[in-house]
């Protein structure tokens, strides 16, 4: 996404990844923003958003392994660090992040007790599903 838009990853806000790992994950840009504009308005390429973007996100781990000829563990470790940072320090006011949490059975129709990526905010060491 940042490559297509020629913008830094840190500038993209509220992209949610549903599901678990690899081919079972699904990127959702329905609430995403760039420069306080809906990402779908900025990208202006619905076909790409619903096609190659989703596929590229799902296959990202395999692409890292193919490019590096090594495990994608460093990428996963970096994501864990980002999760812990947001969980302990908190998310920025008004921002949502994707985080693997134990589902509550009430949110988004997802069965209770699953470890599943959900849109959350974090404050005072607590996460809340949005």
Other beta carbons within 10 Å of 33: 18
Q: Residues 98-123: pLDDT tens digits?
A: 888 999 999 999 999 998 888 999 99
Full domain range(s) for residue 70: 2-129
Token reading at 77? 């470790």
Q: Residues 2-55: pLDDT tens digits?
A: 788 888 888 888 888 887 667 778 888 888 888 989 888 888 888 988 888 888
Instruction: For residue 110, give the DSSP letter.
Output: P
Number of domains in the chain: 1
Q: What is the SS3 assignment for 88? A: helix
Q: What is the pTM of this model?
A: 0.71
How far apart (Å, rounded) are the C-alpha atoms in residues 116 and 110?
9
CATH number at residue 110: 3.90.110.10
Give the catalytic positions in this structure. 21
């Amino acid at each position: 996404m940042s490559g297509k838009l020629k913008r830094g990853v840190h500038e993209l806000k509220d992209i949610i990844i549903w599901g678990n790992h690899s081919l079972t994950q699904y990127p959702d840009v329905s609430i995403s923003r760039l420069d306080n504009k809906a990402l779908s308005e900025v990208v202006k390429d619905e076909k790409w958003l619903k096609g190659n973007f989703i596929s590229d996100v799902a296959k990202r781990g395999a692409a890292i392994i193919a490019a590096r000829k090594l495990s994608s563990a460093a990428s996963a470790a970096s994501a864990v660090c980002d999760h812990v940072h947001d969980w302990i320090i908190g998310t920025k006011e008004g921002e949502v992040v994707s985080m693997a949490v134990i589902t509550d059975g009430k949110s988004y129709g997802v069965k209770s007790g699953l470890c599943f990526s959900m849109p959350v905010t974090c404050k005072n060491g607590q996460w809340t599903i949005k």
